[in-house]
Structure 1
Amino acid sequence: MSSDVTMADAEAETHNAGGGELLVWPWTGILATTTDDDDATADAASTLAFHAHQHFAGVPTTALQEATAGDGHHHHFLVLHFGKSWAGLRDAMSLPGRFPGAGRREWRRRRRGEGATACAVYGWLAGEDATSGAVYGWPAGEDDLHDGDGVVGRFLRDAGGAARSTEDVERDEGRVAAKLAAIAGEHERRAVFLERKCEEMAGAAQNAEAGNTSLHDELKDMEAIYAKLNQLEKQLEQRQSLESIIRQMNMNLQAGGSLRKEDHEHIYSIMICLRTIVDEEKEMLVDSCAEIMKRLRTNSDELEEYRQELIKGVENMTITASTIIGIKRMGELDERPFHLACKRKHREDDPRGKAAMLISYWQEELKNPSWHPFKIIQVDGEDKGVVDEDDPKLRQLCKDYGDSVCNAVKAAMAELNEYNPRGRHTMNELWNFREGRKATTKEVVKYISDQLKTNSSQSDN
């Protein structure tokens, strides 16, 4: 049974063997024999199984039996399930050639009592007459499917068999092929779209990396300028001190008359010149510093724009337990502690619904501008607002549902206070889930680049 049977071969055999008859689909074959008493039932089943194995080894089968009222005959059938392929059709259509002169027509004559044909020699046992023991075989057709209350007809109908021609099957397969081609085209279109989006994200990532590098370089320049500025400040102080000393010396010299007036004027003019130079250099450095600060702000704005582009590119990514870099909704409650707490407290009273209601309530409460559970503490000499653990609402929540739920609310409130203290709306942030912190632009760029390389290598394979 070859799987590369051509459609033309299968159709040719169908027309040659069945004259265009509608066949049962999935393609099915029938082997049949008759016994005269109950004791021969096992022998009949074995005989049919032997012929099925001899001609179609490996093909699934179903054994059926039917008793004839009044005459004591038992009809035995073995249904061969050839499947839906063209190779299965060819196997079904080979039955007339394997059982010549012992097909459906001869079987029906046998059942009407006209006797078996001389050609029905398969399964003959020594000493048997021509009315029992012969094996018949034919491809199941429309007549078998609609065979009234016959056991074979009922089985074929219950199994979902349908009377079909090869042209019907070919048309159906054509429609399926067209649908698969359309699906493949849609998948290809989506793949091109995703590839384009990945390229755009890679471009944004590269721009962000370039902006980050430029920003880093300018920060280093700023540090150098500030160092030079401090040095000049010190030099200016030294000049001013020296100028004061020279003035004092000038007064002493005038009192003692040891220096000429021209010498005094020369020293004084030098000091004025030095101070002028230092002032000019300081002014130039201040202007340069202002210009760099302006560029720094511009680059910082551009870097933030690149970061927002990265957020847009990453926000549709699915977050799983293995995700390293992704989007975190800052100010959004972690729902897991709520579900665990409600399972413990409301085990028999819709814990899932109770958790959903509790989450909804506290997410809205976080947005309430009249609730301000913060206190000011000193951190490194600066005032910093932190969540007040003694807030009455938080203490009651902790008492009712435990520390984990209360900590989830405090964490969300701290995030809102950091990212959007006025509006108190959740905001997207690039997040390093492995380390539990905000992801740097450099990390995101590297992660996207690695993902693109991985996808590229997988598509190549």
Structure 2
Amino acid sequence: MECSSDESSELSDTDIDDYAEKAYTDLKSGKLVARFGADRFRCPFCPGKKKQDYRYNELLQHAIGVGASNRAAKVKANHQALASHLKTDHADAAGSLPPRQAVALINPPKPVQDQELFVWPWMGILANVPVEQTQRGGAIVMQQLAGYKPIRFNAVHSPDGEYTGFAIVRFNKDWIGFKDALGFHNTYKSHHLGKTDWEASKSDKYMFAWLAKEEDYKADDPVGKFLSENGDLKTVAELQQEMSRKTDTLITSLTSQISAKSKYLMELECKCNQMDLALQRAMEDNDSLDQRYNEEMRKMQSTAREHSLKIFHETDQLRKQLDEKENDIKRRSKQLSEIVAQTDMERRKLENERKKNDGQNDSLNMARIEQEKANEGVRSLVEKHKKEKEAALNKILLLEKQLDEKHQLELDIQQLRGKLEVVKHMEGEGVDVKKRTEELNKDLQDRIDAMEDLEELNQALIIKERMTNDELQDAKKELISGLVDLLGPRSNIGIRRMGQVDEKPFIEACKPKYGAEADTKALEFCSMWQDNLRDANWHPFKIVTRGEKSEQIIDKGDEKLVGLKEELGEEVYKAVTTALVEMNEYNASGSYVVSELWNNKESRKASMGEVVEHILKQWKAKRKR
């Protein structure tokens, strides 16, 4: 909303009331119109607002809020006058409350005496209520009293649980409920069924009823006890003051909220006006830019036409010069043709080299990707192998423990059998041989059962240990196969083919004898001796005993080995005997080469811990790169 001129002309606070009276006179006389229909109103002092139509309650809240805000004095006076006009001259349009409730709130029912004490919440007392009518929450009685809108029925019982014949009906806590309670009281009183009639007759033929008051509340009987536990004594004046106080508090709170929201609305309207103004200026700037753009385009088109004519003129001159130079170019083109032929050959050669390099780069990238995948697979395989090895060690320790327990049980059984034999020979020496024999037999049987159970568990664990060992060997094979491409000959940890003959000594031994054919002859000799190692019928070993231990060693007197040493020398002999020892140790029955993890630095078999540590170091180093 644009800031109107009404707000610019300020009034002093002392003149607000006079100006409000003048505005109220204009509204009442019809000079200013606020109502345009049965439930359609407008604020005559805010013509620029986006929302024009209000309901009665909405416009009244608007007028009260602006009148109580910190706006300009003239604006406050106008809206105060509008609020007075709506309350005084258009109260018939109030729609916030039903008519019956609005009347009840404005004019609460007056009792005979203003200081008379009633039980609140409003309650009615019923006497001589048949016990069958108290069932299902007093549904029959509640239906009979439906015209007075009771909200709850309670039968009154004595402390020992016996029904007293009295019942309590409750009404709403507001003035409407009080009016219904008075109607209930007066109806029964008019039919001579009130409290005084009941006290006079004490008849149980009819049902009597009256409104609960102070004497009922203070009575020393079950009814008085129920009333004191579920209500309080209050006068109508006290309740009216309390409700007025709550209403004033609510009005104050709502007025404060309306004021705050009105102020916020004004701020939003001002911001909206500022945005509209900024948008209008932006549109004006845009129009100005469009005009300047069109002028620049016209200038550019004129310049382009002039430039085109100039270019046409210069083109004619250049065409003449080109004709002159054409002959010169033809002459030179012959010379260039020969150079171009050579250049094409070099270009094709460079293109082939470039394609070859691109193919090598692609291969290297694919190799790098596959290397990373293999690294990840090896790492997971190493971790799995490590866990399986730990599980196998734990099972071996458990087997050793169970073996000790088995030995102890066997020892106990032998001792018990010995004791049993001793007891059998003690008959006649004052010992109850039969009883002692039964005890020893029972103990012996328990030990035998325990040993059998332990034997069954031991067998199960042995089977499990063998399965675990097989899994461990399979995992080791997978680890070796995964590490073949990752571990080089220069790394601390590598893969050694146990039982494979080393070719280098053969090559060195053949060079002096065979010259240019040394490599071919060395391969032939190496292949022949590898076949000899696979021959199951050739076993150049002998058994020697050292102390209590027997072991197999190379038989240096074997004819084949002696002939090899004489023909090719000591180094070739060592290479073959080393391969023999390795094959005998790692695969004596199969006689084929076995891959094994090897510590290249110390020339020995590598432990799984060393392999895992080495691979993790390599993997971390590659990740940092």
Into which bin does the TM-score normalised by the smaller protein fall? 0.5 to 0.7
Percent of residue pairs bearing the same amino acid type = 25
Deviation track 1:311-352 (CA, whole Å, cap 9, x = no partner) reads 1101234532x2222221222111222222223x42756433
The letter for the 2-side match of 1:336 is: K
1:442 match: 609
- 1:237 matched to 2:418? The reply is no
CA contact 2:493–2:599 (8 Å) conserved in 1: yes
2:103 match: none
1:291 match: 460
Q: Among 368, 384, 394, which residue is 1:217 paired with? A: 394
Q: Among 326, 331, 334, which residue is 2:499 paired with? A: 331
Deviation track 1:279-315 (CA, whole Å, cap 9, x = no partner) reads 1111111111111111110100100110110111012
- 1:310 matched to 2:465? The reply is no
Alignment of 1:195-206 (within 5 A): 195-206=372-383
Q: Among 398, 402, 424, which residue is 1:247 paired with? A: 424
CA contact 2:496–2:598 (8 Å) conserved in 1: yes
Moved more, 279-288 or 296-305: 279-288
Aligned equivalents of 1:204, 1:142: Cα separation in 2: 73
**Gaps spanning 5+ residues in structure 2: where?**
1-323
The letter for the 2-side match of 1:235 is: D
Aligned equivalents of 2:345, 2:451: Cα separation in 1: 99
Deviation of 1:278 after TM superposition, in Å, equals 1.1
Moved more, 444-453 or 416-425: 416-425
| Larger RCO (alpha carbons 8 Å, 6+ apart) | 1
The letter for the 1-side match of 2:404 is: A
Deviation track 1:223-280 (CA, whole Å, cap 9, x = no partner) reads 1111222222222233223323333333422xxxxx5xxx443322221221121111
Aligned equivalents of 1:163, 1:283: Cα separation in 2: 90
Higher helix proportion: 2
The letter for the 2-side match of 1:341 is: A
CA RMSD of aligned residues (A): 3.9
Deviation of 1:389 after TM superposition, in Å, equals 0.9
Partner of 1:375, secondary structure, is strand
Deviation of 1:429 after TM superposition, in Å, equals 2.0
1:405 match: 572
Deviation track 1:177-215 (CA, whole Å, cap 9, x = no partner) reads 9985x8766655443333222222222211111110001
Aligned equivalents of 2:364, 2:566: Cα separation in 1: 53
Aligned equivalents of 1:142, 1:223: Cα separation in 2: 101
Partner of 2:598, secondary structure, is strand
CA contact 2:501–2:530 (8 Å) conserved in 1: yes
Moved more, 304-313 or 447-456: 447-456
Deviation of 1:397 after TM superposition, in Å, equals 1.5
Deviation track 1:12-38 (CA, whole Å, cap 9, x = no partner) reads xxxxxxxxxxxxxxxxxxxxxxxxxxx
2:205 match: none
Q: Among 340, 346, 349, which residue is 2:508 paired with? A: 340
Aligned equivalents of 2:539, 2:435: Cα separation in 1: 69
Aligned equivalents of 2:540, 2:414: Cα separation in 1: 50
Deviation of 1:382 after TM superposition, in Å, equals 5.9
Q: Among 267, 277, 293, which residue is 2:446 paired with? A: 277
The letter for the 2-side match of 1:311 is: I
The letter for the 2-side match of 1:411 is: T
Note closer, same or farther for the CA distance 1:183–1:294 as it changes in structure 2 (3 Å cut). same
Q: Among 376, 386, 390, which residue is 2:553 paired with? A: 386
Aligned equivalents of 1:234, 1:183: Cα separation in 2: 74
The letter for the 1-side match of 2:564 is: L
**Gaps spanning 5+ residues in structure 1: where?**
1-104, 110-140, 254-258
TM-score normalised over the length of structure 2: 0.42
Deviation track 1:44-102 (CA, whole Å, cap 9, x = no partner) reads xxxxxxxxxxxxxxxxxxxxxxxxxxxxxxxxxxxxxxxxxxxxxxxxxxxxxxxxxxx
Note closer, same or farther for the CA distance 1:424–1:229 as it changes in structure 2 (3 Å cut). closer
Note closer, same or farther for the CA distance 1:241–1:367 as it changes in structure 2 (3 Å cut). closer
2:370 match: 193
2:594 match: 427
Note closer, same or farther for the CA distance 1:232–1:200 as it changes in structure 2 (3 Å cut). same
Aligned equivalents of 1:216, 1:184: Cα separation in 2: 47
Deviation of 1:381 after TM superposition, in Å, equals 4.6
Deviation track 1:359-410 (CA, whole Å, cap 9, x = no partner) reads 2332233333443322233367565443211011211221222211111111
Deviation of 1:162 after TM superposition, in Å, equals 7.0
Q: How many residues align?
A: 299
Partner of 2:427, secondary structure, is helix
Note closer, same or farther for the CA distance 1:401–1:189 as it changes in structure 2 (3 Å cut). closer
2:539 match: 372
Aligned equivalents of 2:333, 2:532: Cα separation in 1: 69
Aligned equivalents of 1:186, 1:366: Cα separation in 2: 39
Note closer, same or farther for the CA distance 1:408–1:162 as it changes in structure 2 (3 Å cut). closer
The letter for the 1-side match of 2:392 is: L
The letter for the 2-side match of 1:359 is: C
CA contact 1:329–1:428 (8 Å) conserved in 2: yes
The letter for the 1-side match of 2:381 is: A
Partner of 1:421, secondary structure, is coil
1:208 match: 385
Aligned equivalents of 2:543, 2:434: Cα separation in 1: 61
Aligned equivalents of 2:547, 2:609: Cα separation in 1: 28
TM-score normalised over the length of structure 1: 0.56
Moved more, 377-386 or 244-253: 377-386
